[in-house]
Amino acid sequence: MSASDEPTLFLTSDDIDGLATMAEYVEAVRDGYRDRGHGAPARPRTTLYADSPAGMLTGYTAILPTVGAMGGYTYAAGFGGQDAHFVLPLFDAESGDPLAVFDGASLNPFKTGATGGVAIDELAPPRADDLALFGSGAQARAQLKAAAAVRELERVEVYSPTADSRMSFAAEMNEQLDATVAAVASPSAAIEGADIVVTATNASEPVFDGSELEPGTHVTAMGQYHPEKREVDATTIERATYVTDLRERVANDAGAFIHAVEEGVVDEDHVHAELGEIVAGTAQGRTSEDEITLFDSGGTAIETVAAAQMLLERARERGLGEEIEFAPASEALTGR
């Protein structure tokens, strides 16, 4: 059956809730990045800022031929309601037919977490079992679940500035994971002995001292996509094999990398590879036990489209979603 034979669906956050495990999100996102590694086109985030009331409008797009879908992510955040709304249109990559429109809010942490999971699986030591987590919100939760899907974690140390937040988060995740999850009182305590360090914060300044990273550590930084904000310091960038989601975005909004260049500790050639190149095998990942690796995740439509296509297939199997109609331009744009 061709894409045009299938109805276009509107899928709410409730429709897609629980349709896939985190491990399944990781595999779908891995397929998307493999497509990118073989040359699939993707555009980095474009953000417009409004002053009164303060807010932003953000969007990005990708075409994934092997996955079979293309589309993007558009969201508005801030403004008067101080909230965010996510819209995700999905099209058939061969015919261009509209496949679905998602209310993308509940999808967001899963696809972002899954990207972190792919990076950990590709770049972290195979036997990594100790993870330091910075952050205690929805994105931190998703990153931790994705890490647990690709590594047999034994211990997790959680740090965020508010003691109550990190303690309640640790208690919650202790109930959900096999690993022992503990709240710690300082960044240094978190990264001591860690094989994997994940930052999932809204911090504007580095959340730990890069000189304290132990040899062999993998770092995933997923909260830095503003040229003036950074979760990791220049020392971390300098010490690490630096991998990004899209090369094109590094000079635009990878705040930690931009700052390291400005400090003179690295130059643009310090970008080792895109994650997709490593997944596809066109670039090498970790090469030694002592190597420090870093994945800079700014968010792309690669993981968004790949995850959405997987969810659409599940939704169709279960008869979920509301059918909607789109008129093709040849019929709608009559000039009358």
CATH at 9: 3.30.1780.10
Q: Are residues 81 and 222 in the same domain?
A: no
In which residue are the tokens 């993308």 written?
Answer: 104
Under a CB-based contact definition with an 8 Å cutoff, are residues 3 and 302 in contact?
no
The residue type at 146? A
DSSP string, 4-47: GGSPEEEE-HHHHTTSS-HHHHHHHHHHHHHHHHTT--EEEEEE
Question: What pLDDT was estimated at residue 336?
Answer: 57
Q: Are residues 250 and 148 in the same domain?
A: yes
Q: To 5 degrees, how large is the angle CA 14–CA 77–CA 276? A: 75
Neighbour tally for 300: CB within 10 Å: 31
Q: Are residues 284 and 318 in the same domain?
A: no
Question: What pLDDT was estimated at residue 4?
Answer: 56
Mean pLDDT over all residues of the chain?
A: 94
Q: Are residues 149 and 239 in the same domain?
A: yes
| Closest to 299 measured CA to CA, from 142, 102, 99, 121 | 142
Low-confidence ranges of the chain (pLDDT < 70): 1-4, 334-336
Q: What are phi and psi of 318, to 5 degrees?
A: -100, 0
Strands annotated E in the chain: 8-11, 42-50, 55-64, 69-78, 83-92, 98-103, 130-134, 155-159, 180-183, 196-199, 218-221, 241-244, 271-274, 293-296, 322-324
Question: What pLDDT was estimated at residue 102?
Answer: 97
Q: What is the tens place of the pLDDT at every residue in 102-126? A: 998 889 999 999 999 999 999 999 9
Question: What pLDDT was estimated at residue 229?
Answer: 87
| Residue-number span of the structural domain to which 281 is assigned | 124-296
Q: Are residues 136 and 270 in the same domain?
A: yes
H helices present in 59-137, as ranges: 107-123
Q: Are residues 321 and 218 in the same domain?
A: no
Q: What is the tens place of the pLDDT at every residue in 233-291? A: 999 999 999 999 999 999 988 999 999 999 999 999 999 999 999 999 999 999 999 99
CATH, residue 232: 3.40.50.720
Q: Are residues 316 and 282 in the same domain?
A: no
Q: How many domains does the chain have?
A: 2
Q: What is the DSSP letter of 82?
A: T
Is 117 part of any domain?
A: no
Q: What's this model's pTM, rounded to 2 decimal places? A: 0.95
- Please report, rounded to a whole number, the percentage of residues in the chain having pLDDT higher than 90: 88
Q: Are residues 64 and 79 in the same domain?
A: yes
Q: Are residues 314 and 182 in the same domain?
A: no
Strand partners, 181: 156
Q: Are residues 308 and 222 in the same domain?
A: no
Q: Are residues 171 and 230 in the same domain?
A: yes
Neighbour tally for 324: CB within 10 Å: 12
Question: What pLDDT was estimated at residue 225?
Answer: 75
Is 289 part of any domain?
A: yes
Under a CB-based contact definition with an 8 Å cutoff, are residues 300 and 65 in contact?
no
| Closest to 181 measured CA to CA, from 240, 123, 129, 114 | 129
